[in-house]
Structure 1
Amino acid sequence: MVTALMAVSFLTLAVTAVVPNVPVMIAAAAVSLAVEGVLFRWQRGMVAMFAKMHADVTVRHLLRDMLIVVALVRLHGQSQETDLATPLLVLLAFYGLHFSIQAVSVIVRRTRTTPVLTRNIDTSALRLTAAPPALLLRRPGHRLLILGLPATAGLLAAGATGDALWGVVGAAVSVVLALGGLVLLGSHLLPGRRPPSEETVLKWFDAWLAEYKPTIGMYFSGGSASAYQANMWLDPLAKLDGRPLIVLRERFMMQKITATDVPIVCLPQVHHLMRLEHSTLQALIHPSNSGKTSQVLRIPTIKHAFVNHGESDKLSSCNPYAKAYDEVWVAGPEARERYALADIGVEDKDVVEIGRPQLDGIAAYRGAPEGEYTNVLYAPTWEGWDGNPGNTSVIAAGENLVRALLADPKVRLVYKPHPLTGSVDPRAGAADRRIRELILAANRERTGTRPGAEAAAELARRTAELDRLTTSAFRTSSDNMERMMLQTAPDPGRAAAVTAATAAWVKAYWAALPEWEHQIVTDARPDIQACFNRADLLISDVSSVISDYMASGKPYAVANTSGLTEAAFREAFPTVRAATVLTPDAAGVPELLERVRKPELDDLREARAELKLRLLGPSDPPSQARFNEAMRALCESALRHRRRMTEREARIPGQRAAAPTGDPELTTG
């Protein structure tokens, strides 16, 4: 719809340039400008698509103004009373200033790009100055639209009145605004406003490492959609004994990591990353594999453990890359056996069972649904990279499952698709959209009471409080990247406050929704665990969602879209052994709901308890305690390795010591 409006408006402008019609020209220009605003506010993907088609905002804005100028020439070009040369020259001056701003912004960005980015670290010693407004520095599209609006409006006014003075005035206003922006931007190149040199920043960073003395940490690299893989480990990492540190590689990822009091550093360049070799850092956990992971594995003074971002029976949970780490930490015995059967080079002695510390807050199974409605969580995984039809149920079974659930008047469905659904296979994205339409249509047919204004007000209050605690100052600054460096040290009490505020928000969120209304959950909040606690039944695919849900002990079902028989499906995927297996036609949904509502019919409860033990390990000691013990042992291994390196290098003249100077007694605390 937006693309069509854009095309029609420009086509209309082109027609009015040939056959001048002032009212139509003004209307077409207004529509095109309104569409630009919609694109930049709500449809950034379309902005990128136009750019790939070599029709970015600069081209569109220039074309719009030129078509208006052509129309003015045809309308008044022959009139001796209308001088169009002056507004045209002033308009060209504005575009010249716009491109000058763009050139200077590139220079300013390069001079202000620091080799290290930080969060939760006091950088006041660097005396960093605030960056220019993002409109000037990083948003050329927004800048051209805003600064060029007076010029476009002036040209349209000149066409409507026949007075070229309006064009001159409008273009002159744009020139003044652009000139002011250029001066403001250029002032940041003055010696007193330049940021510290790379050498100065790195010297400060080395000093901070020596003062903070990090001992443990998490390393993460990936795309913007993968940040959830790191975020799920933030709380367990913060609770470990030691001085934690988060190491990132992509600058944009600094904004994707959610609220935490753990110090965060981003080291985009490999040679800067290598400075960690002579720090006190002893061990890093890795929630995912990436191409840049191999770079940090080259540091011999640090031990590395692969913790994964979730465990499932899929082959991706046994990636051969895992053998590159010193240890592989898994939840329970099932994963240990999975690695042994996969025979990918991971030795059993290097596999450590730690449970899943993220699952400590999942509520335990209490029997039959307590309310009027049976809450069913349908959380399918995405289609994956390998094209296996059994990866996701969305394509082959999703609509059938949702129809069967919606057909039961006492079911309240919560649909939470994987964030990557449709990113590889367009069929999955199309099926996801159809599922959402089914849910919305079902809601329109349902009636019932809604929570009052008090519930909405409470949710708004809780949301504001949680946003205040979890939104760092850099998220709303004029320059995200630099504002991170300007932050001071974190508030040591914020972590507990965030935990309490999150729990209060979750309670207010569900209280503000009608119990009878189906929900589509795509935002980061509520997270999957909050949905687990609300659900009486989970329907999913073979994925880590099942393994995590096992912590609750509640009934669950798995859609079999693999083409295997049920017996072969259960044999191939151990996480399915305690599940109800559903066929793509969803024929077994009514019987499944009956067993959920009548626990005496639930013949899989003991099987779930046994499978939970195999998947997640024992409940005592708690998973967080086992996680902490595994980290302590890995740090001790790193210390022993450093001592051996130091002793070996001491016997070779001219070799530098492996351990940091001035801190021979490294500890995990």
Structure 2
Amino acid sequence: MPSAGLAPRRIAQLSALLAMFALFTAQIVSALLPNIPLFVAAGAAGLVLDTFLQYRDPGLLAPLSKVRFDALVRQLLRDMLILVGLLRIDGIDPLREQAPLLVALIAFYAVHFACQAVSVLVRRTRTLPIVTRNIDASALRLTASPPRILARRQAHRLLTFSLPVTAGLLLTAATKDAVWGFAGVGAGLALLFLGTTYLATWLLPKKRAKNEQQVMEWLDGWLAEYRPTTAMYFSGGTTSAYQANMWLSTLSQLEKPLIVLRERFMVQKIDATDVPVICFPKVSTMFSLENSTLKMMLHPANAAKTSQVLRIPTIKHAFINHGESDKLSSCNPYAKAYDEVWVAGPAARERYALAEVGVEDKDIVEVGRPQLAPIRPYAGPPTGAYTTVLYAPTWEGWDGNPGNTSVVLAGENIVRQLLADDKVRLLYKPHPMTGSVDPRAGAANERIKAMIREANTKRSGARPGPEAAAELARRTAELDKLTSTSFRASADEMERMLLQGTPSGNREAAIAEATLAWERAYWASFPEWEHRIITEARPAIFACFNASDLLISDVSSVVSDWLSSEKPYSVANTSGLPEVAFRAAFPTVSAGVVLTPKADGVPALLESVRDPEKDRFTQARAELKEQLLGPSDPPSLVRFDLAVKALCAKADDRRARMESRLADEVPSPRKPEESSDELSEGEPTEALA
């Protein structure tokens, strides 16, 4: 069942395709009749519609490209139909007027193909073997990118420069005067030729970056100067960047950190940070790290390309994961490929032992969760008029297990029960990948949002004044300025490398301060009685934690992170297991209330939050927190830093052993005096003559 949000999109796409085919049909019929007014109108409307859709929403025409009826074919057909129509119109000489027009049109397309060839060459020269960020790479002769319409938008370029061509030909059809056709084709040809010539200037030496060998030599020099010790390695899809972003604040606290990526697009997906970033799209270039001072790598996720970096013998590798839960995915057998597996606390150590996936206990290191520092601890029951409840379900996962997410089987019931309580303020924050595997989850998610919007229409009360909205806008602009880089629409990765050089000042501290100010402004800009649907990156999950009195979630890392606050929580059981078996299978549930798919336990849950005497899990949460996250002293960041230094020391020891072994295996050359001594103890020199 498709989600409701897709229906308007599909209707718009179908309408665009039908309009396109209708105009082509009208152009064909009017050219054969001939019907000059219809012929001119259909030809002009077809080009205008095609150009408009290419600029406004090219995805609507994507099905045509899949069947090889792309913009080039459509425009070529459109022009050929115009020439056919001119043959059918009396008063236009085929030999004296139409033949030259055909030759001029062929020249126009020839220049278009030449421009496309030049654009391919320009893109190749501007595609470096690596991509950097927060590194001064001006020594690579980086330059601004050429206009996007010339270098990267073939369809836009053809349709835009075809506007005067088609206009001139249609005016010839309407007036029977070939001068208009020659003028239009000449104007289009001249514009395209000048554009191609301008684009070709990016092939000149002054605008060309250094070649691959020179770039890699520069990188070796930068690595030798920066001398990194610890790197975070990350590879993934467009929606997985959050797995790396959650570790940025921790990574920035280390000495000489580095971020190593594998996909070019991921460079811009990483949040604002001062840590240097290097992307190695090819394995061969990544092996330049082998000769650097890099001692260890942190891995927040398993990926297909992880096995490639594990082949570098001089670097130690630690798997830090992007969150811990009782799911099997938290005990992936791939983890045994790393030198060490870093976990939050004893619970994860036990989880690996029970899973029997090949990870030895000696390779597990407990480091806590240093990024949980912003979460505020429990300060007692709600004191205001409303109890704020955060419902943060996870997504459906890849294995189809109905217990992964509560959205499908229990989500609507949970929300309905919460909305029925007049003293509840609901924050609904679904996982960003909800519905990506199971359409039922996407549909349920949309229905839940609709329920919350409807509930808000039934509530009323005082709202913050306009100054609150103005403050939020001001804080948003301030934070956006700190966290984003302003690029031209035509900026390519080389230009972005040039603009994203070495950061100035302590930007991360400024961002942290601005984020806190933004969060205060955000919550102050809405009335305390209004339910919120939070699907944007801001406010982040930890900010929602701090604003909430109760969490309702699934078996996921969200529960483990929430436990650092020791606030009450509840987990929905949609696995089909009895509660006793459910608690036994998932230890993170042991200190929370278990909700059935019917969610009939919500009223009692809310009462226990408001009255601590009815909360029977207070002590259990404190004990489970230490079991999941480890002790509070020393702080997690201290334990993490100690683990980094210990693994770096192991890398140093290995290098020393390898150098010693190599020195023993390769005999050193003899010295002259040693040769003389050997001869004096053996046969006389005369015997060797």
The answer to whether the superposition gives a TM-score over 0.5 is yes
Which of the residues 212, 233, 257 maps onto 1:198?
Answer: 212
Between stretches 326-335 and 517-526, larger displacement belongs to 517-526
Which stretch of structure 1 is more off in the superposition, 611-620 or 230-239?
611-620
**Residues 357 and 624, structure 1, Cα contact 8 Å, conserved in 2:** yes
Q: CA deviation at 1:450?
A: 3.3
Q: For residue 626 of structure 1, what is the aligned residue in structure 2?
A: 639
Cα deviation for residue 456 of structure 1 reads 2.0
Matching residue within 79, 82, 89 for 1:77: 89
Q: Does 2:411 correspond to 1:401?
A: no
In the alignment, the residues of structure 2 paired with residue 543 and residue 269 of structure 1 have an alpha-carbon distance, to the nearest angstrom, of 34
Distance 1:565 1:556 in 2: 19
* Cα displacement (A) at 1:174: 3.5
For residues 153 and 405 of structure 1, the distance between their equivalents in structure 2, rounded to whole angstroms, comes to 62
CA contact under 8 A between 1:473 and 1:487: conserved in structure 2? no
Residue 5 in structure 1 maps to residue 26 in structure 2: no
Which segment drifts farther, 121-130 or 639-648?
Answer: 121-130
Partner of 1:519: 532
Contact 2:89 2:173 in 1 (8 A): no
Match of 1:456 in 2: 469
Alignment of 1:72-221 (within 5 A): 73=86, 77-80=89-92, 90-152=104-166, 168-221=182-235
Distance 1:281 1:13, change over 3 A: same
* Contact 1:5–1:35 under 8 Å retained in 2: no
CA distance 1:454–1:99, shift in 2 (3 Å): farther
Q: 2:578 aligns with which of 555, 562, 565?
A: 565
Matched, 1:336 2:349: yes
Query: 2:51 touches 2:160 (CA, 8 Å); kept in 1?
Result: no
User: TM (normalized to structure 2)?
Assistant: 0.88
The match for 1:39 among 57, 66, 87 is 57
Q: CA deviation at 1:413?
A: 2.2
Shift of 1:156: 6.2
Output the amino acid matched with 1:6: A
State yes or no: 1:243 paired with 2:219: no
Q: CA RMSD in A?
A: 2.7
Tell me the CA shift for residue 519 of structure 1. 2.2
Contact 1:474 1:481 in 2 (8 A): no
- Give the aligned residue type for 1:321: Y
- Alignment partner, residue 363 of structure 2: 350
CA distance in 2, matches of 1:442, 1:38: 35
Contact 1:217/1:284, CA 8 A, preserved across alignment: yes
The answer to whether residue 543 in structure 2 is matched with residue 530 in structure 1 is: yes
User: Secondary structure of the residue that 1:361 maps to in structure 2?
Assistant: coil
Q: Is the 8 A contact 2:13 2:61 kept in 1?
A: no
Q: Return closer, same or farther for 1:328/1:419 CA change in 2, 3 Å cut-off.
A: same
Contact kept, 8 Å, 1:538 with 1:555, in 2: the verdict is yes
Equivalent residue number for residue 368 of structure 1:
381
What do the CA deviations read for 1:112-160 (whole angstroms, capped 9, x no partner)?
2212211111122222222222332233344344444444555666677
What is the alpha-carbon distance in structure 2 between the residues aligned to residue 654 and residue 87 of structure 1? 81
User: How high is the sequence identity, in percent, across the aligned residues?
Assistant: 60
Bigger Cα displacement from structure 2, 349-358 vs 51-60: 51-60
Following the alignment from structure 1 to structure 2, what is the Cα–Cα distance between the partners of residues 507 and 148? Answer: 53
Question: How far apart are the structure 2 equivalents of 1:588 and 1:330?
Answer: 33
Q: 1:639 to 1:475 in 2, by over 3 A?
A: farther
Q: 1:284-340 CA deviation, whole Å, 9 max, x = no partner? A: 100011111111111111111000001111101000110011100001111010001
Name the structure 1 match of 2:310.
297
Question: Which residue does the alignment assign to 2:626?
Answer: 613
Alpha-carbon contact 1:255-1:475 (below 8 Å) kept: no
Q: Is the 8 A contact 2:340 2:364 kept in 1?
A: yes
Aligned CA distance change for structure 1 residues 202 and 610 (closer, same or farther; 3 Å): same
SS in 2 for 1:375: strand
Distance 2:412 2:418 in 1: 10
Note closer, same or farther for the CA distance 1:157–1:386 as it changes in structure 2 (3 Å cut).
farther
Q: CA deviation at 1:652?
A: 2.3
Shift of 1:193: 2.2
Query: 2:146·2:490 contact (CA, 8 Å) conserved in 1?
Result: no
The change in CA–CA distance for 1:59 and 1:232 in structure 2 (over 3 A counts) is farther
Q: Deviations over 1:63-106 (max 9, x none)?
A: 56666x379549x7234399666666555544433333222222
User: Alpha carbons of 1:179 and 1:401: their partners in 2 closer, same or farther (altered >3 Å)?
Assistant: farther
- Contact kept, 8 Å, 1:379 with 1:418, in 2: the verdict is yes
Amino acid at match of 1:415: Y
Taking the aligned partners of 1:375 and 1:156, their CA distance within structure 2 comes to 65
Residue 201 of structure 1 and its aligned partner are, at CA, apart by 0.9
Identify the match of residue 648 of structure 2 among 628, 632, 635: 635
Letter in 2 for 1:524: A
Q: Measured at CA, do residues 94 and 593 of structure 1 come closer, stay the same or move farther in structure 2, by a change above 3 Å?
A: farther
1:564 CA displacement: 0.9
The question of whether the paired residues in 1 share the 8 Å contact of 2:297 and 2:316 is answered with yes
Give the 5 Å matches for 1:407-446. Answer: 407-446=420-459
> For residue 659 of structure 1, what is the aligned residue in structure 2?
none
1:9 to partner: Cα distance: 1.2
Corresponding residue SS for 1:581: strand
1:25 shift after superposition: 6.5
1:606 is matched by which residue type in structure 2? Q
Deviation per CA, 1:439-469, whole angstroms, max 9, x where unpaired? Answer: 3333344334433322222222212211211
Extract unaligned runs of 5+ from structure 1.
656-669
Task: Determine which structure has more spread, i.e. the larger CA radius of gyration.
Answer: 2
- Alpha-carbon distance in 1 for matches of 2:100, 2:531: 62
Counterparts in 2 of 1:23 and 1:474: CA distance versus 1, 3 Å? closer
Offset of residue 430 of structure 1: 2.3
Task: Tell me the alpha carbon deviations over residues 608-640 of structure 1, each in whole angstroms, 9 at most, x when there is no partner.
Answer: 111111111111211111111110111111111
